[in-house]
Structure 1
Amino acid sequence: MTTAFLTAPFTTAPFRHTEPLPPRSATGRTAEVYRQLAEDFGIESASTFVVLSSSPDLMAAAWALMRESLLAGEGSRTGKELAAFGVSRANKCPFCVDAHTLLLHATGDHALAERLARGKAPEKEVQARMVAWGEATRVPGSPDLTPLPFFARHTAAYVGTALSFHFINRIVSALLTENLLPGNVQRFRSVRSLVGRSVARTVRRRLVPGTSLALLDGDAGPGPAWAAGTTVGPAYAALRAAAMAGSSLLTEADQNLVRDTVAVWDGTHQPVVWDALPGRADRPGARLALLAALAPYRITDEDVAAWKKPPYTDHCLVGLIAYGAFTAVDRIERALPLQAAVGDSVDRVTQ
C-alpha cells in the first residue's frame, strides 16, 4: 500500500448537505491551504477542511488555528493529541476520535493509541489527566479543568488545540458522515497502525510557527489573553471573525435566541425532547445554528432543506453552521479557568 492510498480515505469521506468543489480545481488562497495541508499535516485534502472550502475565510482560519496550536505550537504533540481526543470524545464525534487515534499511532505511541481505541484510559496518570482535561473543557466549572496538565508557557498551544477541535468536531458532525475511512476499516488495528505510520514523518517534524498567518484576510482584532504573544492568538481571532460573520444570516431575534440559549448551556448533551429548540417551520435558521452549537450530529436533511432555499447556497450553509459552532466555542473559551490554574500547571504528559 502506498502512502497516497492510505491518506486518500481522509479526503473521500462522504459530505452531508454540501457538495464541495474538487480540491484539484482550487485556486488562490484555497489552493495554498491545500498545499500547506499536504506539507505540514501530511494529508493534502483533509475532508475536515475541504468541507469549508466554499468559504475561504473560514477554511484558512480553521486551518491556521489547528496548525499554529496542534502542529506548530509548543508542548508535546502526543499531549495535544490526547487533549484533542478527549475533546472529540466529549463531543461524541467518532470521526475525530478515530482520527486522533490514528495520529497517536503516527507519533509512535502505538500502545497508547490502541488502549484508547479499545476504550481504555492511558496507563500513565499524566496522560489520563490530559484526556480528562480535554473532555472537561466542554463542561463549565468541571473540577477536571484544574490544575492544568501542562506547563503554563504551553497554554496557548494546548488551549488553542482544544478550542480548535471544539469547532472542528461540530463542523464534522454537522457536515460529514461518521466514517473516517471507507467501510469504517479503522476498526482494524493493522489499518490504524499502517495509516498512522504513513504520515509519521510529517507528524514528527518540528514546524516553524506562523506560516499559516499569511493566509488570513486582514486584521481580525486582538486575540485572547491566554494566547498573547503567540501565533495562536491571531489565528483564533481570525476564526472568531470568520465564523461570527455567519450571524448575518439570521434575524436579530434569532441571533438573540442562539446567543442566550448557548450562554446558559451547562455542557450536557441535549435531551431528545429539547424544548428550547425552535421548529423547522417557524425558525429554521435558528434551529440549524442551535443544533450546530449543541447537537450537530442531530442535523438532518429536513433541517437543512427547511432553511437552505434560494438565495442560500453551500457557502451560506457552511457560514451558518460555523456561526453556531463558534458560539459554543466562545461559551467554552470564556468559561475556562485559565488565570486561576496557570500557576499550578505541570507538564509530564510524555513521561
Structure 2
Amino acid sequence: MSTLFRFTEPLPPEAATGRVAEVYEQLARDFGIDRAATFVVLSSAPEILAPTWALMRESLIAGPGDRTGKELAAYGVSRANKCPFCVDAHTVLLHATGDHALAERLARGRQPEDEEHARVLAWGRHTRVPGAGLMPYPFPREHAPAYIGTALAFHFINRIVSALLTERLLPGNAQRLRPVRSLAGRSLARTVRRSAVPGAALALLADPAPGPAWAAGTAVGPAYAALRSATAAGAGLLDADEQALVRETLWDWDGSHPPLAWAGLPDRREHPGARLALLAALAPYRITQEDVTAWRRPEHTDHCLVHLVAHGAFAAVDRIESSFSLHAARETS
C-alpha cells in the first residue's frame, strides 16, 4: 500500500487509534472503503483528516440531493483540477449508483445524454473559476448546501490526492478497463445506495462552528468551518512574507492552470515553503521530490508536510468558496 503514497509514509490503517480509527470506522460503514488512500494519506494529521472526511460525508453521502448528481458534480470538479485518480474514482462510484451507461459515456470522454446531468457536470467543472459556478444552480435550491459542499470537498481532496498520491486508483491502473470499473462499482452499490444519517461525522470534530451561510444550517457548514480552521494552522510553516504571497496570488487567481513558465512561482532555494503551498493550491500535480527535499528539514515530519500541503490546497478552496459566501450574504441582506 505504501507505493500509493508520494513523500509521506502513513501508518498502516490497522495500527490506527483514537480519532483516526473512528474516521476509518465511518469510512468503512458509510463510504464502503475502509482503507481509502485518499484519507489514509492524511492520517499523520488527524485534525485535518477528520474534517476532510466530515465535509465529504455530510455533503456527498448524507447531504440532500441525488447521489448521481453529486457524483457528477465531483467528477466535473476532478476533471477541472486534472486529477485522474479522482476522475477514475467517481467513474467507479457512478457505476455504484447504478448509472452504468452514464459512467461509461464519461469514461469515453463523452457528454451525458441527459441535459440535467450535463448541466450538473458543467457546473462542477466551472466551480474551479471563482464566481463562475454560482447561478443558476442546475439542482433544486434546497440541495445547494450538499452540492456546494461536495464541490468544495473535492476541490480540496483533488489537491491532496494530486500532491501526495500516485495516479493509480487500482493496481496496474485496472480501473481503466470497463469490466473492472463496473465490477468495482457493483461491489460498492449497497453502501452507496443506502441512506446515511446527516451529522454523524460532526462527533469527530473538536469544536465545530456553524459554518458559512450557504450551508443553510446543515451539517455541511460545521464540517467546512472545521476544515478551514484546521488547515489555517499550516500558515505557521511560512513566514509573514510567504503568507502574504500565497494570499495575494490566490486573490488574483482566475481559475486557470499556471503555465509551465510560471513567473510568480517562488524559487525552491529561496522560498521552498511558499513554493509548495502555491503548487498545492494551483498545480499540485507538479510537485516534485526536489520541491519537497528543498523544504524539508529534520524537524519537518510527515505531519508538517500534510499541514503545509493542506494549507495551500485550502487557500484555493477558500478563494472559490468566497464567491458562494458573498452570494449567500447578498441573498439574505
The offset of 1:310, in angstroms, is 1.3
Deviates more, 1:144-153 or 1:23-32: 144-153
| CA shift for structure 1 position 18 | 0.3
Q: Distance in 1 between matches of 2:32 and 2:308?
A: 29
Partner Cα distance (1:93, 1:317) in 2? 20
SS at match of 2:147: helix
State the AA in 2 paired with 1:198. S
Choose which of 104, 108, 119 in structure 2 pairs with 1:129: 119
Offset, 1:145: 4.0
Identify the residue that residue 157 of structure 1 maps to in structure 2: 146
Percent identity between matched residues is 69
The match for 2:292 is: 304
Please say if residues 13 and 47 of structure 1, whose CA atoms lie closer than 8 Å, have aligned partners that are also in contact: no
Give yes or no for contact 1:86–1:134 (8 Å, CA) kept in 2.
Answer: yes
Distance 1:325 1:225 in 2: 22
Taking the TM superposition and a 5 Å limit, the aligned residue runs for 1:113-128 are 113-128=103-118
Q: Residue type matched to 1:100 in 2?
A: H
Q: Does the aligned pair in 2 maintain the 1:13–1:180 contact within 8 Å?
A: no
Q: 1:42 to 1:340 in 2, by over 3 A?
A: same
Could you tell me which of 327, 332, 337 is aligned with 2:315? Answer: 327
Partner of 1:225: 213
- Is 1:272 aligned to 2:260, yes or no? yes
User: CA–CA distance in 1 between the matches of 2:2 and 2:190?
Assistant: 22
Once the two structures are superposed, residues 266-304 of structure 1 have per-residue CA deviations (whole angstroms, 9 ceiling, x without a partner) of: 000000000110001000000000000000000000000
The answer to whether structure 1 residue 246 and structure 2 residue 234 are counterparts is: yes
Distance 1:185 1:228 in 2: 40
Structure 1 segment 160-175 matched on structure 2, within 5 A: 160-175=149-164
**Structure 1 runs of 4+ off > 6 angstroms?**
340-343
Of the three residues 209, 212, 215, the one matched with 2:201 is 212
Match of 1:39 among 17, 26, 29: 29
Alignment size in residue pairs: 331
Write the deviation string for residues 100-155 of structure 1: whole angstroms up to 9, x where unpaired: 0000000000000000000000001110000000000001243x642101111111
Aligned to 1:203: 192
Question: Aligned to 2:106, what secondary structure does the other structure show?
Answer: helix
Equivalences for residues 6-17 of structure 1 within 5 A = 14-17=4-7
Give, as a single letter, the amino acid of the residue that structure 1 aligns with 2:136.
Answer: P
Query: How far, CA to CA, are the matches of 1:338 and 1:189 in structure 2?
Result: 41
Cα RMSD for the two superposed structures: 1.6
Aligned residue identity for 2:302: D
CA–CA distance in structure 1, aligned partners of residues 184 and 287 of structure 2: 30
> How big is each residue's C-alpha offset from its partner over 1:43-72, in whole Å with a ceiling of 9 and x where there is no partner?
001000000000001000000000000000
Post-superposition shift, 1:179? Answer: 1.2
Alpha carbons of 1:232 and 1:333: their partners in 2 closer, same or farther (altered >3 Å)?
same
Map of 2:168 onto structure 1: 179
TM-score by length of 2: 0.97
The residue aligned with 1:349 is: none
Residue in structure 2 matching 1:96, options 69, 86, 91: 86
Mapped to 2, the partners of 1:283 and 1:323 lie a distance apart of 16
Q: Distance in 2 between matches of 1:267 and 1:243?
A: 21
Give unmatched runs, 5+ long, in structure 2.
Answer: none
C-alpha contact 2:213 2:328 (8 A) present in aligned 1: no
Instruction: Name the structure 2 match of 1:64.
Output: 54
2:213–2:329: 8 Å Cα contact kept in structure 1?
no
Letter in 2 for 1:305: T
**Unmatched segments (≥5 aa) in structure 1:** 1-10, 344-351
Structure 2 counterpart of 1:292, one-letter code: A
**What residue in structure 2 maps to residue 4 of structure 1?**
none
Cα drift, residue 218 of structure 1: 2.0
Q: Partner residue of 2:71?
A: 81
Q: Distance in 1 between matches of 2:245 and 2:268?
A: 15
| Equivalent in the alignment of 2:129 | 139
Q: Name which of structure 1's ranges 94-103 and 210-219 shifts more when overlaid on structure 2.
A: 210-219
Distance in 2 (alpha carbons) for counterparts of 1:147 and 1:13: 43
Please state if 1:314 is matched with 2:271: no
Q: Distance in 1 between the 2:250 and 2:58 partners?
A: 27
Q: Residue 276 of structure 1 aligns to a residue in which SS?
A: coil
**TM-aligned CA distance change 1:286 to 1:154, over 3 Å:** same
